Structure 1
Amino acid sequence: MRETLILLPGWGLNGAVLQPLAEALGSNMQVQVPALPRLGSAAAADWLDELDTRLPHDCWLAGWSLGGMLATALAARRGKRCRGLITLASNACFVASDAWPTAMSAQTYAAFYEGCQENADATLKRFAMLCAQGCADTRGLARLLQTNLLANEPSLLAGLQVLATLDNRAALAALTGPQLHLLAEQDALVPAAAADDLLALLPAGEVDVLEGCGHAFVLEQPQALAALLLEFIREANDGDS
């Protein structure tokens, strides 16, 4: 029986952006790309409750950006009922603070949130460009991302608030199963400099920085990324046997 892997998308984008990665993984695993909650609530617990009810248990949890942060919190909640955790371009905290400085500045986040309130469509397009920044085909990726942007709805602002308030430091430290966290060297949204701080939190696991790519490496390099993920899962399973 093949392993099941849940792959959660990031903020502002539908699951189609992760389909190339899901297809690259699919010959070896059962991969599901569920949508993020469409909730008006900005309470992370409400988002996790919804995901916990909807998603299967005893599977690998993975996610990109906000999806990775939610996967982390859900993995910690499930404990041994989670096979393992993989995050892609995710941080322990999305917004910087004195306790976690290697993240987006609070001023940048505040301006982004305000922009989403005033003109969500323009802000989402700018967000797509930031995701593609640092990748080899920045313009092509930005255009592709823009075709997969979500419509303006209450869950967009709520998701931004979840991003700002979710603090996964304790969750990462508490996880006893296998963990892999991949960051992008030229990410304009999640600084690669967080790698050392992330690694210091983990009781066991890996943190790697992929060179020459940006936040949208999940869309730009699906085959190479799938190979890394499958190798990590294979090694984790060998360790269990």
Structure 2
Amino acid sequence: MPDALSELTMTTRAIRLTIRSHFLKEPVMRATQKTTLILLPGWVLGPRPLMPLARDIERHDDAISVQCVAYPRLKSRRLDVWLEALDAQLPDDVWLGGWSMGGMLAAALAERRGGRTPGVITMGAGARVTPPIHAGGNLPSPESWPGWFDQGRHDAWHLGKRLLKTLPRAGARQSVTALALLGAMDLRQTLPRLTMPQLHLYGEQDFLIPASARQVVAGHLSPAGHMQLIPEAGHGFVIDQADQTARAIVAFMQGASRGSNKLEEPL
């Protein structure tokens, strides 16, 4: 009997250790799951220009998975229709990011999703569109945009050639619809309501989002909003300074996971 009792006691201890080990390891396994960042593209450019940035982000932190997505083909110019379509298309519990128009849509979608969005990354996105982008309601040709994207930089010609190679064959109607949406968006009421961590990146010499436009964003940010400049960069910093942009994004996302980000001074 003593031997049988001793054997039973040892077996019970082994079972307890196995159960304890299982529940101790489970949180560690969950912690290693990747964080997903969705990147929405700028007007008419499609996701291809953002792919080098996505690769750089994943290279700097292999715990982050980046998805560059294309917009659904919509005929409506209403923001709520676009947000409903994107909400249905994109998974929950992912960081939302985007460049230019994509950044504005990411912020608007984050407000709609609320707690289903752990964080927001915008790049070259204003609170609203101002001239010359939508002056007089005229539609700029897609071929003319690469030059605008890099105003203030000495390598505008080189960046323009790179952008032209990535331009999708977007239909004129789709381009007009997206431009009408872009011209109607106004995030001045949206930004103060965002409570999740946000990083708003800007090119220091961005002709489309100058200091005055950045100050409007700064004046409407909630305490969770952060702003950062990419030095000596135009609107195309996500392309010609992809590595530096990736470093800033990774540092912010890592800081957000630790709760250690600090708000930048208004730009």
The one-letter code matched in structure 2 to 1:138 is: A
Match of 1:212 in 2: 232
Match of 1:161 in 2: 180
Match of 2:121 in 1: 86
Instruction: From the CA coordinates, give the structure whose radius of gyration is larger.
Output: 2
Match of 1:183 in 2: 202
> How large is the Cα RMSD of the aligned pairs?
1.6
Match of 2:149 in 1: 131
- Whether contact under 8 Å (1:195, 1:208) holds in the other structure is no
Equivalences for 1:88-103 in 2 at 5 Å?
88-95=123-130
Deviation, structure 1 residue 232:
0.5
The one-letter code matched in structure 2 to 1:109 is: H
User: Percent identity among equivalent residues?
Assistant: 38
Deviation, structure 1 residue 155:
1.5
Tell me how far apart the structure 2 counterparts of residues 131 and 22 of structure 1 sit (CA, whole Å): 19
The one-letter code matched in structure 1 to 2:34 is: R
Which of 109, 112, 116 is the aligned partner of 1:74? 109
Larger RCO of the pair (alpha carbons < 8 Å, separation 6+): 1
Matching of residue 110 in structure 1 with residue 135 in structure 2 = yes
Query: Residue 170 of structure 1: SS of its match in structure 2?
Result: coil
Tell me how far apart the structure 2 counterparts of residues 125 and 153 of structure 1 sit (CA, whole Å): 12
Instruction: Report Cα offsets for 1:179-200 as digits up to 9, x if no partner.
Output: 1111112212222322222122
- Whether contact under 8 Å (1:10, 1:63) holds in the other structure is yes
Instruction: Report Cα offsets for 1:118-162 as digits up to 9, x if no partner.
Output: xxxxx2111121113223421111011111223233210011111
The one-letter code matched in structure 2 to 1:169 is: R
The one-letter code matched in structure 2 to 1:155 is: Q
The one-letter code matched in structure 1 to 2:127 is: A
Instruction: Report Cα offsets for 1:194-223 as digits up to 9, x if no partner.
Output: 222212211222112222111100000111
Query: Residue 235 of structure 2: SS of its match in structure 1?
Result: coil
Matching of residue 16 in structure 1 with residue 48 in structure 2 = yes
Query: Residue 138 of structure 2: SS of its match in structure 1?
Result: helix
- Whether contact under 8 Å (2:127, 2:216) holds in the other structure is no
The one-letter code matched in structure 2 to 1:126 is: S
Which of 230, 235, 242 is the aligned partner of 1:222? 242
User: Using a 3 Å threshold, how does the CA distance of structure 1 residues 52 and 115 change in structure 2: closer, same or farther?
Assistant: closer
Query: Residue 190 of structure 2: SS of its match in structure 1?
Result: helix
Question: Mean Cα displacement is larger for which, 59-68 or 208-217?
Answer: 208-217
- Whether contact under 8 Å (1:62, 1:86) holds in the other structure is yes
Instruction: Report Cα offsets for 1:81-121 as digits up to 9, x if no partner.
Output: 101111000001113xxxxxxxx35xx6235x4344xxxxx
Deviation, structure 1 residue 226:
0.5
Deviation, structure 1 residue 170:
1.5
Tell me how far apart the structure 2 counterparts of residues 214 and 197 of structure 1 sit (CA, whole Å): 18
Tell me how far apart the structure 1 counterparts of residues 89 and 216 of structure 2 sit (CA, whole Å): 32
Tell me how far apart the structure 1 counterparts of residues 72 and 254 of structure 2 sit (CA, whole Å): 30
Match of 2:80 in 1: 45
Which of 222, 228, 235 is the aligned partner of 2:255? 235
Tell me how far apart the structure 2 counterparts of residues 93 and 10 of structure 1 sit (CA, whole Å): 14
User: Using a 3 Å threshold, how does the CA distance of structure 1 residues 179 and 149 change in structure 2: closer, same or farther?
Assistant: same
Deviation, structure 1 residue 174:
0.3
Matching of residue 25 in structure 1 with residue 57 in structure 2 = yes
Which of 70, 76, 85 is the aligned partner of 1:35? 70
TM-score by length of 2: 0.79
Tell me how far apart the structure 2 counterparts of residues 195 and 65 of structure 1 sit (CA, whole Å): 13
The one-letter code matched in structure 1 to 2:153 is: C
Structure 2: runs of 5+ lacking an equivalent: 1-32, 261-267
Tell me how far apart the structure 1 counterparts of residues 219 and 81 of structure 2 sit (CA, whole Å): 29
Match of 1:203 in 2: 222
